Amino acid sequence: MPKGNKINNEAIDLVKRLGIMPANILTPSRLVVESKDLHKDIKVTDLDEEALEKLGANLLLSVGQGSIEESHMIVMKYFGEGVKVSDKPIVLIGKGVTFDTGGVSIKPSNKMHQMKMDMLGAGTVMAVIQAVAKLKLPINVVAVVPTVENVVSAKATKPGDVFTSMNGLTVEVLNTDAEGRLILADALTYVEKFNPEVVIDIATLTGAALYALGSYATPVLGNDQELIDDLIKAGKKSKDKGWQLPLWEEHCKVMQGQEGVADLRNIASKPGPGTTTAAAFLWEFADDYKWAHLDIAATGSNGDKPTGRSVKMLIEYIKQRTG
């Protein structure tokens, strides 16, 4: 088996291993431990709750405030051999909700056990940066994982609560089950510090993704057409399909907050394309660089089993950038 195929398979196996771990074992703190074991050439920084408070990552912290498990933001850096440390990196962000009850806006119970897999975006970016290090690719990559547990308690966020994001925008949380976009928003603001070449976030974000494309292809949205095209081409070559969904200014309007309450709301003001409006919310925090969003809610798992989808697409994309 060619080396590249072997490493691709190992990367997918890592996502599957993390994805099936029960949430009482794979906590946010355990994800920190797992990140430090990925590869000797990957430098890991753990931002704990104290550090996140200093950064003003209040959206991220709001999601985890009901849990006894501490929230974290994990930063993993790989600097390619022969590449200047100052060269702009590819930045990957992976949603790391290690269990999602939906919070006060609680989910139905029949399939809630599957919400241990709401960290598949995190597993994906960890697997991809590990593969890049194993392949010794001449490129700089940063992978960021905002990781929390979203549960119900007396301290949990209540629908209607308002929080100030890291970039200063205020957000009214009208549905605590629309939590992934909140932790990603602060991560998208944080990664500006890296002066990224491109930023790609990967998340099990919306059930609407299943109705948009089924489990056949991963929805791809963003603010840069070349980046979107390159990801879809990489998916086609690696047989890990992506398909572009529209993202327009009109979608952003339904995410605007009520005057006098907040700048934004975390769910749309009227029914519509949920995958796109969730991406529109993220766009508010990703306007200063080239950005794409992969929603793996429908492709990342098959029932109780994680699939590792989007791993091969992203590895292929990064390999092509080393061209």
Domains by residue range for the chain, with CATH? 3-322 (3.40.630.10)
pTM, two decimals, is 0.98
**pLDDT score recorded for residue 1:** 47
pLDDT tier at 2 (50, 70, 90 boundaries)?
Answer: low
Asked if 73 and 144 count as a contact pair (C-beta separation under 8 A), the reply is yes
- Reported as type and span, the H/E element at residue 213 is helix 208-213
Q: What is the dihedral of CA 27, 30, 35, 37, to 10 degrees?
A: -150
Residue 107 among the catalytic residues: yes
Mean pLDDT over each residue of the chain, to the nearest integer: 97
**Mean pLDDT score, 65-75:** 98
Q: Where are the alpha helices (DSSP H) in the chain?
A: 3-20, 28-36, 49-55, 58-64, 120-135, 180-190, 208-213, 225-237, 249-253, 274-283, 311-322
Catalytic residue (choose from 16, 181, 265, 309): 181
Look at the chain and count its residues.
323
Residue 30 among the catalytic residues: no
Q: What is the pLDDT of residues 289-323, one digit of tens each?
A: 999 999 999 999 999 999 999 999 999 999 999 97
Catalytic residue (choose from 30, 88, 107, 241): 107
